[in-house]
Structures are given as C-alpha cells and as structure tokens.
C-alpha cells in the first residue's frame, strides 16, 4: 500500500518536536491517524504516548507554543479499501487521539465532524471546500490576540 522509503528518511513526530524552539509565535500542527489505520491500535497508542510526552516537554520549555491536532476523518470505502480500512476503526483511532490529548493545552481541528456532516462524498483526502473549512478553523486559533 505504501511505496518504499529508506529508513534514514523516516522521521518520528516526537523526535521532531524535541528540535522545535517554541514560543508565542510558533504553531505546531500534527495530523497522524491515517498512516496508522492499517496497524493494530496498540501501535498507534504507543506512538501517541511518545508524541504526548514530547508535546508536554515542548509546552514546558515554551509555554506560549500553540499545538494543533487534526482529528481523523471519514473516507470513501470502496470494496478494495474496505479490505484493510474502515470508518469504524478510524473512529476508534480518533477516540484514542482525543483521549490521549484531553486536558492538555492543545487545540483540536475536528475533521471527523467536518467530513461526516458535509454533503460531498467521503474521501481520505477531502475535497478543497472541506480543506478550506479545516484551514479556516485552524487559522481561527492562530489569527487572534494570543497575548491574553
């Protein structure tokens, strides 16, 4: 399902977060669920735990940093795709993500509701109008007076 990637090109979100110098003018956006939709949920939980710890360390060293997480979204389930994917499992991953980051000073862009409620067909990579809506929500958390 995925093309070959050299191991030295792989990056882990948690490791990348360690290298970020945060601050009041820094925004970190994370979206991760889709690449784990064909793995057991335990693998996803382990990865999210590492990301959560890295986010906490980032917020400790740079409290003004804005961390935004995009949730999972519904997708088209063709006969082929439904052999290795389902919205039910994606919803489970979405629930895990929400639980893992509940109570932390992070923002969620609720892509699940935005794609589920839209009249356009479901798609793993949503059409431009849904992406625009997600970007608008994302920007609504950035483009206001963050000094308060």
Strand pairing category for 27-30 and 107-109? unpaired
Q: Would you give per-residue pLDDT tens digits along the chain (148 residues)?
A: 567 878 787 789 999 999 999 999 999 999 988 778 888 999 999 999 999 999 999 999 999 999 999 998 877 777 777 777 778 888 899 999 999 999 999 999 998 888 888 887 777 788 899 899 999 999 999 887 554 5
Residue with tokens 């798609």: 123
Yes or no: say if 14 and 104 are a contact pair by the CB < 8 Å rule.
no
Q: HEC states along 19-77?
A: CCCCCCCCEEEECCHHHHCCCCHHHHHHHHHHHHHHHHHHHHHCCCCEEEEECCCCCCC
CA dihedral 83, 88, 94, 95 (to 10 degrees): -140
- What's the pTM value of the predicted model, to 2 decimals? 0.86
């Amino acid at each position: 399902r995925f093309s070959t990637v050299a191991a030295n090109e792989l990056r882990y979100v948690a490791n990348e977060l360690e290298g970020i110098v945060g601050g009041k003018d820094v925004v970190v956006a994370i979206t991760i669920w889709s690449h784990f939709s064909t793995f057991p949920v335990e693998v996803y939980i382990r990865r999210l735990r590492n990301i959560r710890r890295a986010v906490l360390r980032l917020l400790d060293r740079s409290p003004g940093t804005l961390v935004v997480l995009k949730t999972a979204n519904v997708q088209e389930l063709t006969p082929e795709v439904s052999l290795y994917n389902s919205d039910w499992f994606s919803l489970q991953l979405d629930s895990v993500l929400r639980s893992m980051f509940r109570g932390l000073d992070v923002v969620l862009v609720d892509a699940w509701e935005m794609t589920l409620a839209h009249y356009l067909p479901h798609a793993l990579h949503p059409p431009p109008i849904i992406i625009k809506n997600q970007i608008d929500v994302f920007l609504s958390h950035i483009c206001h007076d963050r000094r308060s």
